[in-house]
Structure 1
Amino acid sequence: MKSIFIFLLAFVTVTTFAQKDFQGKATYMSKTTMDMSNFGRGGRQMSEAQKKQIAERMKSMLEKTFILSFNKTASIYKEDAKLAAPTADGGRGFRFGGFAGGGTKYKNTKENVALESTELFGKKFLISDKMEQPKWELGSETKQIGNYTCFKATLIKDVDPLDFSNMRRRGNRNNDKDETKKDSTKVTKLSEEIEIPKQVEVTAWYTPQIPVSNGPAEYWGLPGLILEINSGRTTVLCTEIIINPAEKEDIEKPTKGKKITREEYNTTVKEKMEEMRERFSGGRNGGRRGGRF
């Protein structure tokens, strides 16, 4: 009887994912922690009450809910519109954490197309990303996430220069548990006191029970849907999966916005950040420097 049950379960699974109009919907909770131990100016440490107050104010930036709508080859990943808080610039603003932001990420693993539709200070952009096969190292370790058996995979990944979730004060490398040992010396200078690693180790947990090579944010390339990602101080965990939901999403390429590469977009954001820094600090131009895209 047990053998018959396993056979029937496998048959139902194969039949479900073989359907031409197959689609799935996965909800992910993203949470980023911050090292508050070195916050403060002029060497003066903040009190625990001050740290707690700042953490509460940043909670909406550090804790988010995302929806991944996917079929056998493509996906749309975006923040849950019902829970997303509006930003001052009407869009995503600056990212805090690799998975944050109000944009929409599109991936097509068959055509190797990765696009992100987003908005920065009222201007829409359509960002194209390189979609090279990730060099995952597959492991044999397993764990249960909900009703799914998941396998472990790891990856050494270049850090997005706009991802400030791993920033730290200089001189504290030995105390940072999240820093990858394989690249302990390479850093990107943000200021005289702050740095972020250029690379980070990513741990993924995927389930072959959902045989689609997809996952949250930019992650893909495993023999099953990725249900959990741990990258630096950010954890993204799947909390709900619906196979063939009643209301299906149109999984199509975004088309609106100025077409731009990821490198060009990062340069644009850095320039805008520098303009804002000069404006608020009373730079050489008296804070009246005009910004443009």
Structure 2
Amino acid sequence: MKLKSTFKNLATLLVLIITSSVFAQDGFQGQATYMSKTTMDMDNFGGRELSPERKKMIMERMKTMLEKTFILDFNKTESTYKEDEALEAPGGGRGFMMGGMAAGTIYKNVKENLLLQDQEFFGKQFLIKDSLVKLDWKMSGESKQIGKYTAFKATATKKVDAADWTNMRRRGNDKDKKEDDKKEVAELKKDSTKTDAPKDPFEDIEIPEEIEVTAWYTMDIPVNSGPGEYWGLPGLILEVNAGRTTILCSKIVMNPSDKNEIKKPSKGKEVSMEEYQDTVKKKMEEMREMFRSRGGRGRN
């Protein structure tokens, strides 16, 4: 029994030595593939006026925006995260997103505390340069298996920026609001002098100030990185659940023979994250005023 236990300990030690030597290499690099999926509740975006068939058609058309594949190339201190170009929809445009935004590469450098992101917004190219935002992660003893890796749970509260359309929701979306909606519909049926619904779609939509984030990371790959803007845990983040979005790692290749260069984005007008968010807010307000001036009719 002692001999068996000794062999087991030696095997564990050997694995640790091999793993440590791999990550200690100067040229170490890894590549992780992530599947990102965002759900949208049509019932909370005026969906009650749409037929089930219409809702299904809209969701099918939005699928290319809501389901994407990303590649994270990382080393000990740097990473780049971008959409898998090989899987882009024909004619869909690079990284097309709602509201005239096209997301490019997200570059993180944990040693320099640097975030760089190239972002297209309504035909203008921006280079967002700012410090990394470190979430106040709360560790949990909970663990689970993701592929061949043991992953541990961590949670945090994240502030939501004005450009994050994935977290848009109906204003006051809770049980009390739903009850109020039922009463409103009943009143509308009784009183034909009332209008059906707000003509301004922005009045019915809000972006929450904060959302809860759950991450699962593995210490089997001891790098301080993860998908998108997420980082700050003692191992590679394999899964993220934030608001309506789930990001799950489906494949990891350590020291791939064909490495992608991890380089800083450089194109676009350099702005801070706050400056970029102000630009988005102003554009959204401009669109809202334009909609109002047309009486909610859109383009003629």
Aligned to 2:124: 123
Mapping 1:40-79, distance limit 5 Å: 40=46, 44-79=48-83
Tell whether the 8 Å contact from 1:139 to 1:151 is kept in structure 2 after alignment. yes
2:23 is equivalent to residue 17 of structure 1 = yes
| Length, aligned pairs only | 269
Could you tell me which residue of structure 2 aligns to residue 228 of structure 1? 239
Of 211-220 and 250-259, the range deviating more from structure 2: 250-259
Q: AA paired with 1:217?
A: G
Q: After alignment, is 269-278 or 111-120 more displaced?
A: 269-278
Q: What secondary structure, in the 3-state scheme, does the structure 2 residue paired with 1:192 have?
A: helix
| Cα deviations by residue, 1:146-177 (Å, 9 ceiling, x for unpaired) | 0000000000010121112222223432489x
Determine the structure 1 residue equivalent to 2:262.
Answer: 251
Larger Rg: 2
2:215 is the counterpart of 1:211: no
Deviation at 1:55, TM superposition (A): 0.7
Distance 1:102 1:84 in 2: 13
Matching of residue 271 in structure 1 with residue 282 in structure 2? yes
Q: 1: CA distance between counterparts of 2:130 and 2:122?
A: 21
2:250 aligned partner, one-letter code: T
What residue ranges of structure 2 are gaps of 5+ in the alignment?
1-6, 178-200
Runs of 4+ in 1 over 6 A off after TM superposition: 86-91
1:3 and 2:3 correspond: no
Cα deviation, 1:234-270, whole Å, max 9, x if unaligned, reads 0000000000001112212222211011121122223
Q: Is the 8 A contact 1:93 1:120 kept in 2?
A: no
Alignment gaps of 5+ in structure 1: 177-189, 289-293
Instruction: Name 1:181's counterpart in structure 2.
Output: none
Give the Cα–Cα distance (whole angstroms) in 2 for the partners of residues 251 and 212 of structure 1: 15
Q: Is the 1:117–1:126 contact (alpha carbons within 8 Å) kept by the matching residues of 2?
A: yes
d(CA) in 2 for partners of 1:174 and 1:164?
A: 23
Relative to the length of structure 2, the TM-score reads 0.81
- Work out the CA distance in 1 between the residues paired with 2:242 and 2:138: 15
Contact preservation (8 Å) 1:95, 1:163: no
Given that 2:34 and 2:250 are in contact with CA atoms closer than 8 Å, whether structure 1 keeps it comes out as yes
Question: Structure 1's 248 and 175: CA in aligned 2 closer, same or farther, altered over 3 A?
Answer: farther
How far did residue 81 of structure 1 move? 0.7
Q: Are the counterparts in 1 of residues 68 and 83 from structure 2 also a CA contact under 8 Å? A: yes
Equivalent residue number for residue 140 of structure 1: 141
Q: Which has the higher helix share?
A: 2
1:146-225 counterparts in 2 under 5 A? 146-174=147-175, 191-225=202-236
C-alpha distance 132-120 of structure 1, shift in aligned 2 (>3 A): closer
Label 1:95 to 1:20 Cα distance change in 2 as closer, same or farther (>3 A): farther
1:9, 1:156 → 2: CA distance?
35
Q: Which moved more, 1:20-29 or 1:243-252?
A: 243-252
Tell me the SS of whatever aligns to 2:73. strand
Q: Is this contact kept in 1: 2:33–2:69, CA < 8 A?
A: yes
Alignment of 1:98-117 (within 5 A): 101-117=102-118
Work out the percentage of aligned pairs sharing the same amino acid. Answer: 57
- Superposition RMSD on alpha carbons, in Å? 2.8
Q: Distance in 2 between matches of 1:161 and 1:146?
A: 35
Query: What TM-score do the two structures reach when normalised by structure 1?
Result: 0.83
Using the alignment, how far apart are the partners of 1:4 and 1:115 within structure 2? Answer: 43
